[in-house]
Amino acid sequence: MPEEVKIEFDPKNMPFRRLGSSGLRVPVFSLGGWLTLGATVFGDPVKDIIKTAFENGINMFDTAEAYAQGQSEVEMGRVIKELGFRRSDLIITTKLFWGVRPGPNASGLSRKHIIEGTKESLQRMQLDYVDVIFAHRPDATVPMEETVRAFNFVINQGWAFYWATSEWSAQEIEEAHHVATKLGLSGPIAEQCEHNLFHRERPESEYALLYRKHGLGTTVFSALAQGLLTGKVDGHFKFSDENGSLTTGVMYPQYNDGIPAGSRLDVKYQAWLQRVADGLTSEEGQAKINKIKALSTFAEEELGCKVSHLALAWVAQNPNTSTVILGASKPEQVVDNLKALEIIPKLTPEVLKKIDDIVGTKPPGVPNYGRPELDSYGRPY
């Protein structure tokens, strides 16, 4: 039975790029479900967010089996079906590792979990396939050959077109490519990693050789540094159960004058968020807040935008970035974030240098041990 298409896709002014070395074209900005869709936002509000994204040129939607224990996939799949998008207009990605229930084989990257986890994800999303399936973390307890073969089996079954990694080290990604080449199989085409003005070492230095050697592309999360780079947004947070599981009201609160009570960084039930929050009370954390204040002033006075637009555009202008994943708990957040598209052309080399001077986080380049620099227009090493 042919699908009923209710809304035709219009990319508007959204630029598209290849996803890594593949021929798949993805929008510069995509939408993700982490912490929001299915976790804190349900029903019609999910539909409003996804519909707004689609109507503004976003046709790539990212989720994971672990997001809200599978509920993110459920909500996203339900909404896509109800809105009547043409499946071939969409790029749907999900990720496997943690599973949705306890059990010795209910998580990880064994052949068993990769195959069974893929089938369960597709059932939750009511889809026949996803475009890209990610290994959400590396699994040192499983031979790399088993993992590579399992993801290629998923592709051969038509359940996914490509596979990729998330939060893998350069060494692990290189090993996956080595095994895939040896076996005549497909290696990972992309890496989903954190990349922002305060987190640069891995995406800009550690992966440098992978970009040149394998054409790796990144699908970036936390481009706003867990909300630190958002500027002035009112926010509140609450808990979903007696164990303090995180739910969010408004995605990104304001941190320039300290950590607001009840904000995302005030939540003490997620260890990694607590480390960030505690770090901001230190001398180094206060220095970071001062940098954000300086960036905010620079964005407003020199670029005529909010610091969030600058931060998103800064990640997007990187040639190794395939797509920047946006998070949103309201439709208007999607629209506001897409104003970053207007800032990308303004990020000239001179502007980028000023940004680097403010934050002081640029990783050191490849050492030349005193030798003269190569011509900047020549072939990169």
The residue from 67, 211, 252, 255 that is catalytic is 67
Question: What is the full DSSP assignment across 201-248?
Answer: IIIIIITHHHHHHH--EEEEE-TTTTTTTS-S----EEESSTT--EEE
Q: Quick check: is 67 catalytic?
A: yes
Q: Per residue, what are the HEC states of 276-290?
A: HHHHHCCHHHHHHHH
Pairing of β 217-221 and β 237-239: unpaired
Distance of alpha carbon 179 from alpha carbon 88, whole angstroms:
31
114 and 74 Cβ atoms separated by less than 8 Å: no
Q: Mapping DSSP to helix (H, G, I), strand (E, B) and coil, where does residue 99 land? A: coil
Helix intervals (H) in the chain: 44-55, 71-83, 111-125, 144-156, 170-183, 208-214, 271-280, 283-298, 307-316, 331-337, 349-359
User: Scanning the structure block, which residue is given the tokens 């770090």?
Assistant: 279
Residue 131 has φ and ψ, to the nearest 5°, of -80, -40
Pairing of β 25-27 and β 16-18: antiparallel
Closest CA to 340 of 11, 13, 2: 13
Closest CA to 50 of 35, 64, 36, 65: 36
Distance of alpha carbon 230 from alpha carbon 309, whole angstroms:
8
Q: What's the burial of 37, exposed, middle or buried (CB within 10 Å: 0-12/13-18/19+)?
A: buried
User: Scanning the structure block, which residue is given the tokens 């996956």?
Assistant: 176
As annotated, the active-site residues are 67
